[in-house]
Structure 1
Amino acid sequence: MPTLVSHPDEVKVVSRRFGMGATDIDKYVELDGYKAVQEAIAKGPEWIINEMKASGLRGRGGAGFPTGMKWSFVPKQSEKPKYVLVNGDESEPGTCKDHVLFLHDPHAVIEGTMIAGLAIGSKLGFIYLRGEYRYLLKIVEKAVADAYAKGFLGKNIFGTGVDFDVITQTGAGAYEVGEESALMESLEGKRGVPRIKPPFPAVVGLYGGPTVINNAETIANAPHILLMGGEAYAKLGSERNGGTRLFGISGHVERPGVYELPMGYSLRKAIYDVAGGIKDGKKLKAVVPGGSSCPVMLPEEIDVGLDFDQMGKAGTMLGSGGIVVLDETVSIVEFALRTIAFYQHESCGWCIPCREGTDWIKKTLTRVYNGGGNKKDVDNVQYLAENMLGRTFCPLGDAAAMPTIAFVKKFRKEFEDYIAGNKAGTPIITVEQLVGAH
């Protein structure tokens, strides 16, 4: 089991059981486990949704949509069964938070799934893990089996007359299925490509039934919120951004790791205080603040709070909480190529702007990186990315376009230096290795 890191500024809510053996169901119960769901059964759906709304919890997968509001969109009456779908795909490069939840506190995800089910009137939840997380599947499956053995799942849970079942599933290793409609397609046994919206999942979702889809961290927060109260949870964060968040800080920092910090916490402090600053005393060159799809930030832009609204005003996104720190040795041209090569490889190929746009950007940046670029290439890359933006069936096209536009706008001189033969930074691997890896 990986060594857990910590810092005095952390506010441990969703991570409070980490390192305490909570994968064992008896230990989880000892640490207040499955109390929240029993209270939820007693007080009913309206109480659950009101507490979730009061908490200010917003989707931890990246979209930041208010969770309580999302749950309230599900129609109360439905001819078809309702479903809860937990998105544990976590394929965003730079993101490494959900795996620690499954590793250290899987019962919190199960209990949160049950609470979401009670809120919308569902009797069945699915926990969908990333394909590469098969090593976590045994942990989650054992937790589910133990919950059934205790009578916490299945028929007449806790002797209350309520029924609820949980099914686990892993994907096939596709980034695309992190998008909610592609996730449903994959779970139904089909190719993981997005659906056209509307209709939205809350009305027509999994198997055609009303469906709530939430990120694993979002769901794991639900039991804690009900136990401490929605208003108390909201006060831990910033305005309109309630509670805490798991941030995976990686790259060129002294103490990389997953830290739970209050929403609105300073990005500068997260890098220099929590993660110990730039490794080996080097200078900061850039920060990707929330996973690879988020526009890059310059050193002079990091005096900003880590919440959805403040990051949006700063011209980027909080995303999935993956903070990637880059020091002065990094070639932004290489980093941009690495990023677009990933998205080109992961594109499902359904829509032309994404399929062709990512491919042409990768080809152009490969030529620039390899020393064969020309002056028009930089403009062409920006033009291609801007014409992808907002023109694809799902957000993957935007995820590829937004960081590319930011790289070109903020580091244009570095791209031009490559073309002029004055390569900036220190390339880590050759372009053949780089592109071949994807």
Structure 2
Amino acid sequence: MTDLTPILTKFWDDPQSWTLATYERNEGYQALKKSLAMKPEDLVQLSKDSGLRGRGGAGFPTGMKWGFLPAPDGGPRYLVVNADESEPGTCKDIPLMMAAPQFLIEGVAITSYAIGCNHAFIYLRGETVHVYRRLLRAVEEAYAAGHLGTNIHGSGFDLEVTVHAGAGAYICGEETALLDSLEGRRGQPRLKPPFPAVAGLYARPTVVNNVESIASIPPIVLHGADWFGDMGTEKSKGFGIFSLSGHVTRPGQYEAPLGITLRELVDMAGGIRNGHQLKFWTPGGSSTPIFTDAHWDVPLDFESVAAAGSMLGTRALQIFDETVSVVRAVSRWTDFYAHESCGKCTPCREGTFWLKQIMTRLEHGQGTQDDIDKLVDVCDNILGRSFCALGDGATSPITSAVQYFRPEFEAGMSQPWWELFPPEKSVLFPQSAKETVHA
């Protein structure tokens, strides 16, 4: 497998790829018109048949999630798109919304029709003001063209779409915290059950899907479940956007079938930067256990990555060569999780604080003899005991880094990271070396 599958990224290089005119020149809104002539239940079944799994990280079957909604009772039901892309290294939804937002808008319309929703919400991370403006304009264009609003294309189906900018909190990427935030409350995870499918937004049946999941719906409707299933693997079907960043020659977004390997992707990206070699990498963002150069050929699908000890997650492939301190990188991620913990549950609130203290000591060469075992012990007391997945995610890079690079952690008892791994050797842009902070 060496070929890319440009579908959502097909016309990103168009001079005005984000406009409705460009989208309509590339099969735009043909799928919506086809959908409106189908029965909603047939669209749900089509999603199930395609094998599409959530592209937000967990990989839960999209059609199955739609099917969890209870029978209509005459009240409203909602679609909420999770566009709160916040995890370090994850960068696929924001480029998609910037370059081709109409994919998402059409997917929202089709999904809303399939589940009987007349008011859909797109919840966006508030700091990305440029994306917010582009989405608002895309929705405006769709309304003006009759793809949204009242009696869409004479079908009798009405849909209102609201783009909501959050206040900027990683925890709001968790679906129930997102719903609380959308309702005007503090963003904190809810106790489940009830699940959003039964009592979600405003205590009504709600489907929460990732941007890429919803954007994948129009191509599936237009070309069929078999077309989608022909890509990927038997259990991880279809295509996905892989985000390569770090020490590769050409970082960027690579849309490829699930099951492609890191080796194949890095070859397409021009290889690891000249004169260097792969040391460690993340298969699905900073909250997934890290991999090493022993995992070059692990198929990047949900099952294979899990069998190798990590998670496919958001396919955020952060690539680090031998010049990088594992302890320093993991410590920076730990700072992030400690800062972003919502504080609702004790294991995460207290645990991430202590993880940060220990990691800081180790990266500064001030660690004690017991620090590594203490670090793993704190992780064990967070994993599986926190209210949501944030706590679990905070432990993953630490435990995997200790597993693969324990000698580096032991070195942190006597030498700071910048002596072991001079930062000027790892920077991507040499002129920035003088600005590197050593503490």
TM-score (norm 2): 0.94
Contact 1:80/1:210 (<8 A) preserved: no
Q: Counterpart of 2:422?
A: 426
CA distance in 2, matches of 1:339, 1:90: 16
Contact 1:76/1:121 (<8 A) preserved: no
Q: Counterpart of 1:127?
A: 122
The alignment status of 1:293 with 2:287, answered yes or no, reads yes
- Letter of the 1:143 counterpart: A
Structure 1 residues 335-344 or 71-80, which shifts more?
71-80
**Residues 382-401 of structure 1 correspond to what in structure 2 (within 5 A)?**
382-401=376-395
The alignment status of 1:13 with 2:26, answered yes or no, reads no
CA distance in 2, matches of 1:434, 1:91: 25
Over 3 Å counting, the alpha-carbon distance change for 1:230 and 1:96 in structure 2 is: same
Q: Could you say what secondary structure the match of 2:7 adopts?
A: coil
Give the CA deviation at 1:27. 2.6
Contact 2:2/2:264 (<8 A) preserved: no
What is the aligned counterpart of 2:318 among 309, 319, 324? 324
**Residues 260-409 of structure 1 correspond to what in structure 2 (within 5 A)?**
260-271=255-266, 273-409=267-403
CA distance in 2, matches of 1:18, 1:158: 27
Give the CA deviation at 1:219. 0.4
Q: Counterpart of 1:155?
A: 150
Contact 1:332/1:425 (<8 A) preserved: no
- Letter of the 2:388 counterpart: C
Contact 1:92/1:320 (<8 A) preserved: no
Contact 2:104/2:215 (<8 A) preserved: yes
Give the CA deviation at 1:8. 7.2
The alignment status of 1:136 with 2:131, answered yes or no, reads yes
Give the CA deviation at 1:266. 1.2
Give the CA deviation at 1:60. 0.6
CA distance in 2, matches of 1:25, 1:269: 34
Q: Could you say what secondary structure the match of 1:203 adopts?
A: helix
Q: Counterpart of 2:250?
A: 255
Contact 2:241/2:253 (<8 A) preserved: yes
CA distance in 1, matches of 2:221, 2:399: 41
What is the aligned counterpart of 1:60 among 42, 55, 71? 55
CA distance in 2, matches of 1:112, 1:40: 11
Cα-to-partner distance string for 1:162-193 (whole Å, 9 max, x where unaligned) = 10111001111111100100111111111111
Structure 1 residues 36-45 or 214-223, which shifts more?
36-45
Q: Could you say what secondary structure the match of 2:79 adopts?
A: strand
Cα-to-partner distance string for 1:129-148 (whole Å, 9 max, x where unaligned) = 11221111111111111111
Over 3 Å counting, the alpha-carbon distance change for 1:154 and 1:330 in structure 2 is: same
Contact 1:117/1:123 (<8 A) preserved: yes
Q: Could you say what secondary structure the match of 2:216 adopts?
A: helix
Give the CA deviation at 1:79. 4.6
Structure 1 residues 40-49 or 56-65, which shifts more?
40-49
Number of equivalenced pairs: 427
Q: Counterpart of 1:189?
A: 184
Contact 1:80/1:208 (<8 A) preserved: no
| RMSD value, Cα | 1.8
Cα-to-partner distance string for 1:114-138 (whole Å, 9 max, x where unaligned) = 1111111111111111122111111
- Letter of the 2:36 counterpart: I
Give the CA deviation at 1:105. 1.0
Contact 1:86/1:127 (<8 A) preserved: yes
CA distance in 2, matches of 1:75, 1:192: 26
TM-score (norm 1): 0.94
Q: Could you say what secondary structure the match of 2:319 adopts?
A: strand
Give the CA deviation at 1:427. 4.4
CA distance in 1, matches of 2:11, 2:192: 38
Give the CA deviation at 1:434. 7.9
Contact 1:76/1:120 (<8 A) preserved: no
Structure 1 residues 47-56 or 19-28, which shifts more?
19-28
What is the aligned counterpart of 1:114 among 95, 104, 109? 109
Q: Could you say what secondary structure the match of 1:305 adopts?
A: coil
What is the aligned counterpart of 1:211 among 206, 215, 218? 206
Give the CA deviation at 1:45. 1.2
Query: Structure 1: which 5+ runs fail to align?
Result: 1-6
Query: Structure 2: which 5+ runs fail to align?
Result: 425-432
The alignment status of 1:175 with 2:170, answered yes or no, reads yes
Give the CA deviation at 1:433. 5.2
Q: Counterpart of 1:4?
A: none
- Letter of the 2:206 counterpart: T
What is the aligned counterpart of 1:87 among 57, 82, 88? 82
Contact 2:81/2:121 (<8 A) preserved: yes
Over 3 Å counting, the alpha-carbon distance change for 1:181 and 1:422 in structure 2 is: closer
- Letter of the 1:377 counterpart: D
- Letter of the 2:270 counterpart: G
CA distance in 1, matches of 2:32, 2:92: 24
Identity between Structure 1 and Structure 2 (%): 47
Q: Counterpart of 1:23?
A: 18
CA distance in 2, matches of 1:105, 1:434: 40
Contact 1:128/1:169 (<8 A) preserved: yes
Q: Counterpart of 2:28?
A: 33
Q: Counterpart of 2:159?
A: 164
Q: Could you say what secondary structure the match of 1:113 adopts?
A: helix
- Letter of the 2:391 counterpart: G
CA distance in 1, matches of 2:71, 2:27: 30
Cα-to-partner distance string for 1:353-398 (whole Å, 9 max, x where unaligned) = 0011110010011112222211100001111011100111111001
- Letter of the 1:281 counterpart: G
Q: Could you say what secondary structure the match of 1:400 adopts?
A: helix
